[in-house]
Amino acid sequence: MLIMKKFVKLLAAAAALILFASCEKPVSPQTPSEPDTPVTPAPEQAPFKLKVYDVSSVTATVEVEPEDKESPYYMDVINESDFLQAQQYGFDDYMTWFIGSLMEQTGKGRADVIKMISSYGNDGFILTSLKPETTYYAFAVGIDDDGMTTTEVAYEKFETPQKEESANTFDLEVTDVTATTAMIATDVSNEDTSILTIEPANIIEGLSDAELTDYVIQNNIAWGGLEGITYSGDQEFEWTGKSGWNYVVVAFGYENGAVTTDVARKEFKMGEGGNPASCSFSFTQDFNGFEMSLGISPSDNSVVYICNYVQMSDLQALMAAHGSLDGAFGECLEMLVEDMIGDLGTKERVIDLITAMGAQEFTTKYEHGTEYIQWAVPVDQDGNPVASFSFSSPFTTPEEKISDASLTVKSYKYYDGTELANLYPDLAAARGYAVVDLEVEPSASAVQWWSYIALEDLTDRSREVIIKNVLSAPTEQGLTRQLIVAYWGVNTIMGVAQDADGAYGELMLKVVDLKKEEASPASELVF
| Domain positions in the chain | 4-159, 170-269, 276-396, 407-524
Q: Which CATH number, 2.40.50.100, 2.60.40.10, 3.30.1490.190, 3.40.50.720, labels domain 170-269?
A: 2.60.40.10
Distance CA 70, CA 406 (A): 40
Residue range 4-159 forms a domain whose CATH class is mainly beta
Residue 387's alpha-carbon distances to 242, 280, 285, 332, in angstroms, are 17, 10, 24, 15
Q: Is 451 in a helix, a strand, or coil?
A: strand
Q: Is 319 in a helix, a strand, or coil?
A: helix
Distance CA 112, CA 60 (A): 28
Note the pLDDT of residue 223: 67
Mean pLDDT over 129-146 rounds to: 91
Residue 247 has a CB neighbour count (10 Å cut-off) of: 25
Pairing of strands 395-396, 371-378: antiparallel
Say which residue, 344 or 192, is predicted with more confidence. 192
Does the pLDDT at position 137 exceed 70? yes
Mean pLDDT over 148-153 rounds to: 93
Rounded to the nearest angstrom, the gap between the alpha carbon of residue 513 and the centroid of all alpha carbons in its chain is: 31
pTM for the whole structure: 0.68
pLDDT in tens, 324-338: 998 999 999 999 999
Q: Predicted confidence band at 1 (pLDDT cuts at 50, 70, 90)?
A: very low
Q: Predicted confidence band at 31 (pLDDT cuts at 50, 70, 90)?
A: very low
Q: Predicted confidence band at 224 (pLDDT cuts at 50, 70, 90)?
A: low
Note the pLDDT of residue 117: 92
Run of H or E including 83 = helix 80-89
Domains 276-396 and 407-524 share a fold: yes
As a CATH number, domain 276-396 is 2.60.40
Pairing of strands 434-442, 481-486: antiparallel
Q: Out of 158-172, 212-226, 426-440, which region has the weakest mean confidence (pLDDT)? A: 212-226
Percent of the chain with pLDDT over 90: 66
Q: Predicted confidence band at 8 (pLDDT cuts at 50, 70, 90)?
A: very low
Note the pLDDT of residue 329: 96
Q: Out of 411-415, 490-494, 500-504, which region has the weakest mean confidence (pLDDT)? A: 500-504
Contact 261, 194 (CB under 8 A): yes
Say which residue, 4 or 118, is predicted with more confidence. 118
pLDDT in tens, 157-171: 999 988 888 999 999
Residue 124's alpha-carbon distances to 112, 144, 304, 311, in angstroms, are 21, 20, 45, 47
As a CATH number, domain 407-524 is 2.60.40
Mean pLDDT over 343-368 rounds to: 92
Say which residue, 256 or 100, is predicted with more confidence. 100
Does the pLDDT at position 89 exceed 50? yes
Q: Out of 90-94, 176-180, 234-238, which region has the weakest mean confidence (pLDDT)? A: 90-94
Residue 165's alpha-carbon distances to 18, 95, 232, 476, 489, in angstroms, are 46, 38, 15, 45, 55
Rounded-to-5 percentages of helix, strand, coil across the chain? 25, 35, 40
Contact 142, 201 (CB under 8 A): no
